[in-house]
């Protein structure tokens, strides 16, 4: 009897030890799939200091697993930059036509920091780690500039806010998602 029990335990350990452990982490649908596609974009090239800068984007992902939009802001002529992630929700993970925005600082802050131009590099990441192409959008600050009208092809995107660009590069981190205009 002891011999049979010992043999059964030994056999269980041997066979159980040779098996691959179960994988409790499931891969997200679309893992290692296609990267997101940035189908189009538009942003004003000039704004009055203190105005809100809208960046209109149109994107899709055949895998439906877009995770977030990345906005990397830098001041022209300065080596440092900061990135902001705008997380996508629901149906926006498959396809979206919307906008992200940046609350620009007032002229006094820009003048003190000698900032006249920003550069935003925008791309999209998905859950599998794939990255869309990167677009580079320049922004100049022009006092007295009146806001541009949104072009007709971006009217639908103008009704769908995706999120705000959070940054401390220009001291606007405390403005959060409060839209403002001077």
Give residue 33's pLDDT.
86
Rounded to two decimals, the pTM is: 0.75
Give residue 6's pLDDT.
46
Domain spans, the chain = 37-175
CATH homologous superfamily for the domain 37-175: Macroglobulin (MG2) domain (2.60.40.1930)
Residues of the chain with pLDDT under 70: 1-31, 167-182
- Tell me the DSSP string of the chain: -HHHHHHHHHHHHHHHHHSPPP--SPPPTTTT-PPPEEEEEEE-SEE-TTSEEEEEEEEE-TTS-EEEEEEEEEETT-S-EEEEEEE--GGGGTEEEEEEEEEPPPHHHHHHTT--EEEEEEEEEETTS-B---EEEEEEE-TTPPPPPPPGGGTTGGG-EEEE---STTS-GGGTT-----
């Amino acid at each position: 009897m002891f011999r049979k029990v010992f043999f059964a335990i030994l056999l269980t350990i041997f066979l159980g030890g040779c098996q691959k452990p179960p994988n409790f982490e499931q891969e997200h649908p679309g893992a290692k799939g296609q990267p997101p596609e940035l189908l189009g974009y538009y942003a004003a090239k000039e704004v009055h200091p203190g105005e809100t800068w809208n960046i209109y984007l149109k994107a899709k992902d055949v895998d439906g697993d877009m995770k977030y939009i990345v906005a990397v802001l830098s001041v022209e002529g300065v080596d440092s930059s900061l990135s902001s992630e705008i997380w996508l929700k629901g149906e926006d993970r498959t396809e979206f036509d919307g906008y992200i925005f940046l609350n620009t600082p007032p002229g006094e802050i820009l003048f003190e920091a000698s900032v006249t131009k920003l550069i935003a590099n925008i791309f999209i990441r998905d859950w599998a780690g794939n990255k869309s192409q990167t677009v580079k959008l320049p922004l100049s600050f022009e006092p007295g500039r009146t806001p541009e009208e949104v072009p007709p092809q971006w009217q639908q995107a103008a009704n769908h806010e995706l999120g705000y660009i959070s940054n401390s590069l220009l001291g606007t981190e405390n403005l959060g998602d409060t839209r403002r205009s001077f």
